[in-house]
């Protein structure tokens, strides 16, 4: 929501709808708000969640406060962020991002819930007001549309704050790689959702003597320090990973991480109290049955998946067996390489290095990948996804590119090398 449409999205030459964001005028937004929010929490408990994106007190961290009527949001935000009294003490009278959320289902219900989810899909509105540092979400009870510290704050609002303050808020994992000689380097990598970010962030090396440690699997906030090093933090406190395809074969570290203190959403349930999804590659004990995410008995002959394609696990990052010792370092870790990538069935090399920072920005801008369940709920269509940020830009993409290019003009900046991969 901005005064000028061009502040938010570039205008396509044919005058069509931009794929790089959607715009709403302040007047239209105020009208939509007044039609939805009065009385929307009637009969429910309103929770107040003070939370920090990044380690509490870090110079790279930012604070938000979310109001919500969803217990699911409260439980998930406790995993995904640092929240509570320590955050309020750190905030004092300082600035914070205002986050307002409602499932849009006042009690008593006017109609039965679908699959146990309180939501109002016909009236769903997720709006970002960067000038006010405000996020408003109505009608959706799930994932990034309700856990407002995640994509809404950590990417859309944070990218706008980063532009104003001279840093980068990106859809990137962060990992540390140590070679057999004991030399360690940190890198950040951008992939569209469900393209292996979590698997790469928790990689088990097959090369003797190499070690990989995880700082974060989804979002990186990066800022140059006084010595010119690009420092990065993972603003999140947990992993919100796609469950289908996660197994002891594809990601044993993730499977170990989710053994306890984990919230599963829209997965299947086994009769012995466990969870199940496609690609889990675990045979069930004899006599154990499966109930699908739709709360119906399920078998492999049903012709549909037992878990939703975008079903998730929400788990504390500190439980990861290869979590990096510096993952909560207030000053962040030094980034020496940036990787762009995605799923491309043909025509793109396995790996190549950009000639320069400017060429690397071009490579990021030209990223394409197969569409994901998280983004599109479609089949395998090759789509443009610049910087893996297409659904998450907080301001005009042209200005975003200019901001990235401007990093090369910073005095004393030690620019990371940039690579592109296809796997």
Say whether 195 is catalytic: yes
d(CA 315, CA 240): 7
Tokens 């914070």 label which residue? 96
DSSP states along 119-174: --GGG-EEEEEGGGTEEEEES--SGGGT-TIIIIIIIIIHHHHHHHHT-EEESEEE
Closest CA to 393 of 381, 407, 403, 408: 403
Q: Which of 99, 152, 195, 306 is catalytic?
A: 195
C-alpha pair distances (Å), 46 with each of 52, 101, 138, 325, 399:
20, 10, 14, 37, 38
Closest CA to 361 of 394, 333, 389: 389
d(CA 283, CA 195): 25
Sign of CA dihedral 79, 275, 320, 392: negative
Residues 6+ apart with CB under 8 A from 18: 9, 10, 11, 12
Which residues does the annotation mark as catalytic? 195
């Amino acid at each position: 929501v901005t005064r000028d449409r061009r502040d938010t999205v570039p205008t396509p030459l044919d005058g069509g709808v931009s794929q790089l964001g959607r715009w709403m005028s302040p007047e239209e937004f105020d009208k939509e708000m007044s039609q939805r929010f009065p009385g929307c929490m009637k009969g429910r408990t309103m929770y107040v969640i003070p939370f920090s994106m990044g380690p509490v007190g870090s110079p790279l961290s930012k604070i938000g406060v979310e109001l919500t009527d969803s217990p699911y949001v409260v439980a998930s935000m406790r995993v995904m962020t640092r929240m509570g009294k320590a955050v309020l003490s750190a905030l004092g009278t300082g600035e914070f991002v205002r986050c307002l959320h409602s499932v849009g289902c006042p009690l008593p219900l006017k109609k039965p819930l679908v699959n146990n989810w309180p939501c109002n899909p016909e009236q769903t509105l997720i709006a970002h007001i960067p000038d006010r540092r405000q996020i408003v979400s109505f009608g959706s009870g799930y994932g990034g549309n309700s856990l407002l510290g995640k994509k809404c704050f950590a990417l859309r609002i944070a990218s706008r704050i980063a532009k104003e303050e001279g840093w980068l808020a990106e859809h990137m994992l962060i990992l540390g790689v140590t070679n057999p000689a004991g030399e360690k380097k940190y890198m950040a990598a951008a992939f569209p959702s469900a393209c292996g970010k979590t698997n790469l962030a928790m990689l088990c090396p097959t090369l003797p003597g190499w070690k990989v440690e995880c700082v974060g699997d989804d979002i990186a906030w990066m800022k140059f320090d006084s010595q010119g090093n690009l420092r990065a933090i993972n603003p999140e406190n947990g992993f919100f990973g796609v469950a289908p395809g996660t197994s002891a074969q594809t990601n044993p570290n993730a499977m170990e991480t989710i053994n306890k203190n984990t919230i599963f959403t829209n997965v299947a349930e086994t009769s012995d109290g466990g969870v199940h999804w496609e690609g889990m590659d675990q045979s069930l004990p004899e006599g154990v049955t499966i109930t699908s995410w739709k709360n119906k008995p399920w078998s492999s002959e049903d012709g549909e998946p037992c878990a939703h394609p975008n079903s998730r696990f929400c788990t504390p990052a500190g439980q990861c067996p290869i979590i990096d010792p510096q993952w909560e370092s207030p000053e962040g870790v030094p980034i020496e390489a940036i990787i762009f990538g995605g799923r491309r069935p043909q025509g793109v090399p396995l790996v190549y290095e950009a000639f320069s920072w400017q060429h690397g920005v071009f490579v990021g801008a030209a990223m394409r990948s197969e569409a994901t369940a998280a983004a599109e709920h479609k089949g395998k269509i090759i789509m443009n996804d610049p910087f893996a940020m297409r659904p998450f830009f907080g301001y005009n993409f042209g200005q975003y590119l200019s901001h990235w290019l401007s990093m090369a003009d910073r005095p004393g900046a030690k620019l990371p090398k940039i690579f592109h991969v296809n796997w």
